[in-house]
Amino acid sequence: MVAGPKLVKRALGKELSKEELGGVGVHGGSGVADNIAVNEDDAMKQVRSFLSYLPRSVEHRAPRGDVIDPPSRVSMKLDSIIPKDRKRPYKMASIIASVLDTDSFFEIGSGYGKGVITGLARLHGYPVGVMANDCMFNAGSMSATGAQKVMKLINLCETFKIPILNIVDEPGFMIGLEAEQAATIRHGTNAAVAAASSTVPWATVVVRKMFGVAATVHLGPESLLLIWPTAELGPLPVEGGVEVAFGRQIAASPDPEGMRRQLEEQLAKRFDPFVIAENFSTHEMIRPCETRASLCDWIGLATEAAD
């Protein structure tokens, strides 16, 4: 806490305990504390795990761990993990676990910016920074706290020369009054600048949505860009595009909601990731179950090039 109970009472006339001012309930969700430990042993375990991904100093390369998980491991469940109903959520944690080395993901900041998952992990033994959208929270939209969380990870990876793996399913920056009051666009553009300014190897896998200005947060310079057949990319999601392009027709319709749904369904069917792949907007479209193998190839080549 910045100031204890006595000073707060004297200055603001409010009686609060130390726990109420600076305990887990406050800073577990504020972003001041990245992770919460249940006891001292757990805290030391988390510290050792965190440090295991980092080099001895910024002058060294982060060490490669033991290769105990073959890059050829295939997870067939990834081929059907994205629901056919584009509005249905799924567990991004399952994708993360399937792609990375087994049990290697160390999550950072799970208590705040919950639309985004960040952490450190290993891929074919190499340390990587991981960021991914969690569609269970506001469809994975990037909030002000989510953008700050992403920028913190990018800066950490940039400092210690750790490659970044980004798994994307994001409809854009969070919108609405609360998002505007939180200065989401300011924090979001700061995150975009951090991404554009990064120099570490960067791989982006679009598993479903990547729309709008927020898409720039997910692309580092010379980023490897892979997409799944379920990918949707563009300036706006279908719902927002329909409202902007057909607002007058919808308002004049005898059944505005019916017309809106009809237009959304028609345009959603026109999304074709093969067109995106064919016009060279991405490096490659891959089968979801082959994601790990593709990324293991990338991390090996990227690390060799950096050395």
- What value does the mean pLDDT take over residues 178-182? 94
Lowest mean pLDDT among 1-10, 125-134, 241-250: 241-250
Q: Mean pLDDT, to the nearest integer, of 107-112? A: 94
- The structural domains of the chain, with segments of one domain joined by +, span 66-235+273-306
pLDDT at position 241 over 80: no
**Tens digit of each residue's pLDDT (9 = 90 or more) over 251-260:** 778 887 887 7
Question: Looking at domain 66-235+273-306, does it have CATH number 3.90.226.10?
Answer: yes
| pLDDT classification of 193: cutoffs 50, 70, 90 | very high
pLDDT at position 303? 83
Provide φ and ψ at 167, rounded to 5°: -105, 115
Q: Which of 69-78, 97-106, 257-266 has the lowest mean pLDDT?
A: 257-266
Give residue 115's pLDDT band: very low, low, confident or very high (50, 70, 90): very high
Say whether pLDDT at 266 is over 90. no
pLDDT band at 270 (very low <50, low <70, confident <90, very high): low
pLDDT at 244 over 80: no
pTM over cut 0.75: yes
Beta bridge partners of 232: 209
pLDDT band at residue 151 under the 50/70/90 scheme: very high
Top-confidence residue, 189 or 247: 189
